[in-house]
Every structure is written in C-alpha cells, then in structure tokens.
Amino acid sequence: MTGPLLVIGSVNYDLIFRHPRLPRQGETVTGTELFESCGGKGANQAVAAVRCRGALDGETPTVYFAGAVGNDANGDAQRRVFVEAGLDTRHLLVLDDVHTGLSAVWVEAGTGDNRIMNSPGANSRVTANALASVPVEEAGLLLIQNETPADGVRDAVKRAAASRVPVIWNPAPIDEHTDPGLEPEQIAWVTPNEVECAVLLGRAGERIDAASAADAASELLDLGYGGAALTLGPAGVLLAEPGSAPTLVPAPEVDAVDTTGAGDAFNGAFAAALPASADGRAAAAFGVRYASDSVTRHGTQTSFARW
C-alpha cells in the first residue's frame, strides 16, 4: 500500500443519554447524564484511524475522509474535531440546505449496552454523483460502511476494485434497505458484528454467537470475501483468512462504561494498522486493543484516545 487510506462515510452529531436501564416500549425513563459527541460511522472510523497511528511502527498512511455535513453548528463541531485530529477533509461537502446527521443514543449504565436512532440529513447526499470527484483510484486502501446511500457505496467499491485498491467493508447498518449488493470478490476484508454477519449469510433475524462464529467466518470466505473479521464485543474478533483455520483475537478485560463506537474504533485502527502489519491478525489485534480502550470512556469520538 503506497497511497492514502480513504474513508468514505457518514457524519452524525450524537446525543447520548445514559440511563440506569433502557426503556421498554411506551415507557419513559429519566436518565442521569447527557453527553454530546461527534459521531457517524465514517467520521468515527476516520478519526480513530488518525488518532491511533502514533502507536504503529513505521510510516503510516495519510487519512482522507469523504462525506457531507450541513452548514450548521453540529457540522462545525465535527469539522473542528477533524482539524484537531489532523484528518484531510478536502473531499468533505459542506451543504447549506440540509442539516448534519443527528443520532440519539441510549446507553444502559450498568452494562454499557446501547440503542440508537438516526436522522441522516447530509449523509443522504453522499451519492455516486457526489463522490465522482473523489479519487478512489489513487487510494492505497478504501474503508467504507453502509450509513450513506447504497449507490455511492456500490460505485466507490466498484471503482476501487477496478483499480486494484483493497477495500475494507464494514456492513453496518445492514438490512433489505441498506444492503448495497456488493460483490464479495471486490472486498479484501469484511468486518461485520454478530447481527450483520447473520444478514450477510442470509439468516436475517439471527445472531451469530461465539460458538458458531468460526463456522460463520468460514462461510463468509466461501462466499468470496478475501478475509473476514467478525467482531464479538467483549470476546474480541474472530479472524478468518484463506488457507488457515479461523482464530479468535481475544479482547483484554476492561471496565466498560459505554460501548458506543467500539466497532468503529476497531475498524479505524484495523485499517490504519494493515499497511504496517505483517498479517491480518497483527492488525486485528491492534484494532481490538484500541477498541477495548475506547469503551472505558463515554461517547464516540470523545472516547478515542490519541496513541
């Protein structure tokens, strides 16, 4: 890999409510704390990729981000974080006629579990046409998710594949509406969680558990993906590569206070570490350590340390 790491994805401003427990249907639960944080899967992963680089050996790639924000206070807040992190945002659109994406996040205090609702705003404008001027073909690695329109995701991946740019696809979120219909052979690494993995395998509504994770990861390879990193929360990541048996990359034990953004922390650090790592397992182990550290603090990007 000689070119930059290009991250294409969403920007959301997060309102994070921390409650003793999550509400049931029709119930109002009074929380004790409110945190505000810049977020969105694409922005999160890009910020994580920049902030973790100090702990990597050797030269690390420049990180570019392509996405969209509104010309509003929440967009300004995210742009300030990008500047502070040292992220290259020459391909970030700032739009006057739409709001920056907004997410409401409910976190259960005792477990760190969360529920999220989102209004996409400017993220809905990250289409294939909007990305046409982004030089995907010049990237050394493309990291992309599903929180922006499917046609933009699909076109960017096709362009990358045509130029032999490896792609990391984090298929989140994914359902019948957000699945971009990518060709597995165009993906170097797919990084689903337990629910997303089940969807990719045609078993929507199921949840892959630790006991079935190895078989599930092998099935992903059988579909044509170059490699699979199945994130399993506090258990770590189940890694599958052609020619070897799937193996667990365990996560260190930590006192988790908020798991919001942990998957994004992993993906960003994994992508940053791949060019400098001898193999996928070393990059995954680095990503797991970075994600595990992030859950010890509140928020999304506010929990990503500069290493």
For the annotated catalytic residues, the residue numbers are: 264
The rounded distance, in Å, linking the Cα atoms of 187 and 182 is 8
Helices 41-51 & 262-273 angle (0-180, nearest 10): 50
Apex CA 285: angle with CA 279 and CA 287, to 5°? 105
The rounded distance, in Å, linking the Cα atoms of 34 and 20 is 13
The rounded distance, in Å, linking the Cα atoms of 139 and 23 is 44
Helices 73-85 & 41-51 angle (0-180, nearest 10): 20
Rounded to 5 degrees, what are φ and ψ at 142? -110, 130
Cα→Cα distances 171→187, 271, 297, Å: 11, 15, 25
The rounded distance, in Å, linking the Cα atoms of 141 and 167 is 6
The rounded distance, in Å, linking the Cα atoms of 1 and 175 is 32
Tally Cβ neighbours within 10 Å of residue 242: 8
240 pairs with which residues across the strands?
228
Length of the chain in terms of residues written: 307
Pairing of strands 88-95, 5-8: unpaired
What is the arrangement of strands in the sheet containing 63-70, beginning at the earlier edge strand?
88-95, 63-70, 5-8, 141-144, 167-169, 189-190, 228-231, 236-240, 247-250
